[in-house]
C-alpha cells in the first residue's frame, strides 16, 4: 500500500498466490458439483442424481467453501461478485484480473476433469435455456437471479449487517433456493465462469451471450441497490470480508 492508501498487487507476496489458488480451488469445487450431476446422470443412463439434489448440492458446496477458505480470498468464486465488490469499493480493481483468471481456470479445470473421466456429450450438466425459453428471456432471468445473489453477498458482507459465519448459509441458501424454482428456465447459473468454462470444454457454448451479459448487467443493478439500502461501500468490515482477512 502506498502513502496515499492505494493498494498495489505484490506478486512476490505469498498471500497473493494463496488468494489466487483459493479462488481457483473454490471455483473448481463449485463448478464440479454444479456440472457433475448432469454428467453423472448421462453416464449412468438414469436419474441417479435428482433435480432437487442437483440444485441443492451447489448451495451446500458454496456454504462449505465460504466457511473453509473465505478468510483467505473472500471466496468470490464468481466474476460478478468480484466486479461487484470492486464497484462497491470493497475490493481493489488491481486484483480483479487475477481473480477472474483464477475463477475461469477453476471452471475449465472442473469441466476438463468431468469430461476426461466421465465423458459426456451434448449439454448434459451445462446451463442452457429450457424448452420454450429463448436466449433473450434467459438473459433476463439470469440478470434477475444474479441481482439477488449479489445483493445477498453484499448484504451479508456489509458493516451494517455482517452476520459472520451465517453469511455462508445465506449465500449458499440463496443459490439453492434460486435453483429449486428457476433451474428449468435457465439452469440458474448466476455465474459467468460456471456457464462458459465447462461449455468451452464440451464445445457446447449454446446461448453463451445470455450467460455472459445477464450476470454482468446484474452487477451495477445490485451495487446500486446496495447503495440505496446501506449507503456507500468501502467500509472496514466489508473490505476485510471481500479481500480476505489472512495477511500472511
Q: 232-244 in b/e burial notation, b at 16+ Cβ within 10 A?
A: ebebeebbbbbbb
Q: Which helix (H) or strand (E) is 190 found in, with range?
A: none
Q: What is the per-residue pLDDT across 148-189, written as a single tens digit (0 to 9) for each?
A: 999 999 988 865 555 566 788 999 999 999 999 999 999 999
User: Phi, psi at residue 36, to the nearest 5°?
Assistant: -50, -45
- How far apart CA 207 and CA 202 sit, in angstroms, is 14
- Cβ count near 224 (within 10 Å): 12
Angle at 136 between CA 36 and CA 105, to 5 degrees: 35
- How far apart CA 105 and CA 101 sit, in angstroms, is 6
Q: What is the per-residue pLDDT across 179-238, written as a single tens digit (0 to 9) for each?
A: 999 999 999 999 999 999 999 999 988 899 999 999 999 999 999 999 998 888 777 888
Q: Return the domain boundaries, the chain.
A: 14-243
- How far apart CA 229 and CA 147 sit, in angstroms, is 14
The fold adopted by the segment(s) 14-243 is Glycerol uptake facilitator protein (1.20.1080)
pTM: 0.92
Amino acid at each position: 500500500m502506498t502513502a496515499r492508501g492505494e493498494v498495489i498487487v505484490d506478486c512476490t507476496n505469498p498471500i497473493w498466490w494463496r488468494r489466487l489458488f483459493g479462488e481457483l480451488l473454490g471455483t473448481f469445487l463449485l463448478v464440479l458439483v454444479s456440472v457433475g450431476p448432469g454428467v453423472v446422470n448421462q453416464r449412468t443412463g438414469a436419474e441417479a442424481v435428482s433435480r432437487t439434489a442437483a440444485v441443492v448440492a451447489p448451495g451446500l458446496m458454496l456454504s462449505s467453501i465460504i466457511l473453509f477458505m473465505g478468510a483467505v480470498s473472500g471466496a468470490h468464486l464468481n466474476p460478478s461478485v468480484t466486479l461487484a465488490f470492486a464497484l462497491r469499493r470493497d475490493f481493489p480493481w488491481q486484483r480483479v484480473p487475477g481473480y477472474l483468471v483464477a475463477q475461469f481456470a477453476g471452471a475449465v479445470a472442473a469441466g476438463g476433469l468431468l469430461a476426461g473421466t466421465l465423458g459426456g456429450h451434448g449439454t448434459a450438466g451445462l446451463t442452457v435455456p429450457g424448452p420454450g425459453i429463448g436466449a433473450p428471456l434467459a438473459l433476463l432471468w439470469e440478470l434477475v437471479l444474479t441481482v439477488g445473489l449479489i445483493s445477498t453477498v453484499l448484504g451479508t458482507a456489509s458493516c451494517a449487517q455482517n452476520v459472520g459465519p451465517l453469511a455462508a448459509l445465506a449465500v449458499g441458501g440463496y443459490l439453492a433456493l434460486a435453483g429449486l424454482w428457476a433451474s428449468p428456465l435457465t439452469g440458474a447459473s448466476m455465474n459467468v465462469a460456471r456457464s462458459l468454462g465447462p461449455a468451452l470444454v464440451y464445445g457446447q457454448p449454446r446461448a453463451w451471450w445470455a450467460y455472459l451479459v445477464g450476470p454482468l448487467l446484474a452487477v451495477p443493478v445490485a451495487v446500486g441497490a446496495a447503495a440505496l439500502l446501506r449507503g456507500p461501500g468501502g467500509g472496514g468490515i466489508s473490505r476485510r470480508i471481500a479481500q480476505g482477512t489472512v495477511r500472511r
